[in-house]
């Protein structure tokens, strides 16, 4: 940390880009605030900070139809496994998601989805692990079979996904599914039956930053204009080291230090997405075998684990099986594996049987990167349960 501070002080020009991994910790709110103060503390050179999850000014208000909101409370997805397991809901419709791969605390989610009194409908292209729990599986259209707009998390380009062919068989898009469902339920609001062309036209009209709508459909992309990345949205319009607004939101006037503690036999588990995979793809096309878990040779030696050995990881939430890969690219005290394989593909627990389902200190974000595990060499067919190191 001292070396990093000196590097900032000695550099005239720099840009700090806070990514998603940084915010997936229990201390994320305090951490992001502290890092954002670096620019003002140094006060020299040409400096910048980028931290944005708002798709750079793309307005989804019309698409989300917030004016039709019934006022029912919205729930954090991180709460879904425990709420289902506790019997909070009697019915579930799942679309555009495979929670049995992507959510944390999958053991609780398995318990909830396995309830005999839960009626579950899944709308998907593939027979995912979530679909295996469903009472009804409805075939979904592929992204090539439905038009769509594609905003970005990290730049100002807006993409247009043109429909290339009609949906095959009985498959339908998300929008067609909910048009049919609203008709069946006798919902009469005209917005619920607008076709895709009308939705596209009105969404573009409601986005003044889309200057070249013809380019969007002809070329497949356009640039969102007039996005102000210099705005400071504090009450004073200035950088506030001591913030009353933050205090009223439960974050404290000043960011405080936080040290995640772990015992000598625990490792901090990180589970980023792999650059060559998409969570929406059909993982059954790949013979993945047991996923790899990468950690430092010194951590391996402490546990009597060699490269390529089968290992089990465990914490209070569950267990998962991996193949050990020893590398000095992963710092000591850290274990790293990629998310999120389907449980049916690895024959048991996955990384998300281990990941924390707690929410962060501000904003209700996930805390995947605050997960702690214990490791032990263990033959995959061995029933040994001694987890001492």
Encode pLDDT of 233-283 as tens digits. 788 888 888 988 888 877 888 888 777 778 889 999 999 988 777 666 666
- pLDDT for the residue 295: 97
In which residue ranges of the chain is CATH 2.40.40.20 found? 267-377
Cβ neighbours of residue 274 closer than 8 Å, sequence gap 6 or more: 338
Encode pLDDT of 195-210 as tens digits. 998 998 888 888 877 8
Full-model pTM: 0.85
Query: Does domain 267-377 bear CATH number 3.40.50.300?
Result: no
Q: How many CB atoms lie within 10 A of CB 292?
A: 15
Alpha-carbon torsion angle 290, 296, 301, 302, nearest 10: -100
- pLDDT for the residue 7: 82
- pLDDT for the residue 279: 62
- pLDDT for the residue 66: 81
- pLDDT for the residue 385: 43
Pairing of strands 13-17, 46-50: parallel
In which residue ranges of the chain is CATH 3.40.50.740 found? 56-223
CA distance 58 to 10: 37
DSSP 339: B
- pLDDT for the residue 39: 79
Which CATH number does 56-223 carry? 3.40.50.740
Extract the residue ranges of the chain whose pLDDT is less than 50. 383-389
Structure tokens at 116: 């005999």
For 153, 277, 325, 341, the CA distances from 286, given in Å and listed in that order, are 28, 11, 20, 10
């Amino acid at each position: 940390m001292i070396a990093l501070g000196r590097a900032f002080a000695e550099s005239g020009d720099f840009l700090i880009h806070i990514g998603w991994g940084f915010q997936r910790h229990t201390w994320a709110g305090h951490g992001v605030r502290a890092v954002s103060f670096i620019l003002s503390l140094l006060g020299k050179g040409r400096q910048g900070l980028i931290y944005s999850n708002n798709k750079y000014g793309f307005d989804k208000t019309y698409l989300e139809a917030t004016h039709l909101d019934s006022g029912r409370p919205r729930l954090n997805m991180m709460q879904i496994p425990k709420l289902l397991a506790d019997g909070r809901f009697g019915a579930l419709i799942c679309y555009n998601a495979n929670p049995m791969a992507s959510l944390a605390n999958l053991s609780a989610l398995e318990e909830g989805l396995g309830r005999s009194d839960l009626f579950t409908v899944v709308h998907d292209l593939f027979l995912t692990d979530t679909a295996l729990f469903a009472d009804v599986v409805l075939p979904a259209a592929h992204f090539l079979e439905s038009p769509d707009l594609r905003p970005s998390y990290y730049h100002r380009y807006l993409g247009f996904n043109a429909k290339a062919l009609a949906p095959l068989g009985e498959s339908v898009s998300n929008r067609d599914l909910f048009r049919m469902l609203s008709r069946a339920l006798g919902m009469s609001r005209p917005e619920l039956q607008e076709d895709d062309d009308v939705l596209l036209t009105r969404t573009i009209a409601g986005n003044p930053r889309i200057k070249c709508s013809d380019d969007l459909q002809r070329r497949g992309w356009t640039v969102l204009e007039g996005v102000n990345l210099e705005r400071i949205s504090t009450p004073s319009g200035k950088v506030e080291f001591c913030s009353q607004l933050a205090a009223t939101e439960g974050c404290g006037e000043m960011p405080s230090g936080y040290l995640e503690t772990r015992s000598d036999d625990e490792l901090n588990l990180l589970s980023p997405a792999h650059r060559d995979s998409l969570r929406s793809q059909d993982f059954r096309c790949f013979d993945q075998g047991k996923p790899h878990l990468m950690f430092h040779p010194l951590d391996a030696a402490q546990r009597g684990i060699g490269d390529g050995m089968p290992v089990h990881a465990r914490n209070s939430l569950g267990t998962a099986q991996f193949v050990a890969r020893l590398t000095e690219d992963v710092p000591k005290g850290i274990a790293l594996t990629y998310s999120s394989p389907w449980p049916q593909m690895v024959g048991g627990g996955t990384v998300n049987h281990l990941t924390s389902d707690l929410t962060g200190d501000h904003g209700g974000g996930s805390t995947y990167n605050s997960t702690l595990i214990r490791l032990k060499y263990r033959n995959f067919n061995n029933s040994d349960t001694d987890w001492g190191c």
